[in-house]
Amino acid sequence: MRLFITAIGVTLVSGAFSLVGIGQGRSPASGAVDRVQLFDRLPGPRIDVPEDAQGVAPLRQFCPETTETCRNYWAYTGHFVRNYTIPLRDKELLILRTAWLSRGDYVWGRHNVMGQDAGLTDGEIRRVTQGPGAPEWDDFDAALLRAADELHLSRFISQSTWDDLATRYTQEQLTEVVLIVGNYTQLTMLQNTLGVQLPPDIEGLPIDTGIR
């Protein structure tokens, strides 16, 4: 487990380094951004975990806080739930786009609900799957989605996208964008690989817009 957490942590660190110009970041190619390679989604947990009354293993049972690595991991990732400076609606757009690109069924299902609570409409949530090029987005929403796409593709936010976000965000908030995308990319890796399942009353990724 420690090796697994370390490996997925590299994703977040490399994204943060690219953000501040460490390493040879490059702007992503133009055009549509591919999602992660299709994989056979696990029908159940890959490791032994206790189930709740609904027959679903709670997320934190997959990385129990009785271990130091998992305890520190949940303290870190939990920070993004409770602490943020960008508007909640913006944050949910970033998370949903990241979940779509990463084929994160669990993150999408949870944040579909949370996104609506944050003010996103059903139509906007469905439109997240179309990316920043959908004509209905305003310029700033498109820039947010483009930032998620660029981090997914090249681990780097292009200068033009950065400048668009900087029309509204402080430097602290700009940094927060890459950390949010990195955190939820990492979380989808954990959930997909270990077979974390959604409760039966929560829908995962939409299937009418393409292959899950």
Task: Quick: pLDDT tens for 77-117.
Answer: 888 888 899 999 999 999 999 999 999 999 999 999 999 99
Would the pTM of this model clear 0.75, i.e. be above it? yes
The pLDDT value given to residue 32: 78
SS3 129: helix
* 2-22+40-194 placed in CATH 1.10.10.10: no
Residues in the chain: 212
User: For residue range 13-61, what is the model confidence (pLDDT) as tens digits?
Assistant: 555 545 545 444 434 444 579 999 999 999 999 999 888 766 777 888 8
Q: What is the mean pLDDT of residues 127-149?
A: 98
Instruction: List, in sequence order, the alpha helices (H) in the chain.
Output: 2-19, 68-82, 88-101, 105-117, 122-127, 139-154, 159-166, 171-194
**Cα dist from 123 to 81, 92, 119, whole Å:** 24, 14, 11
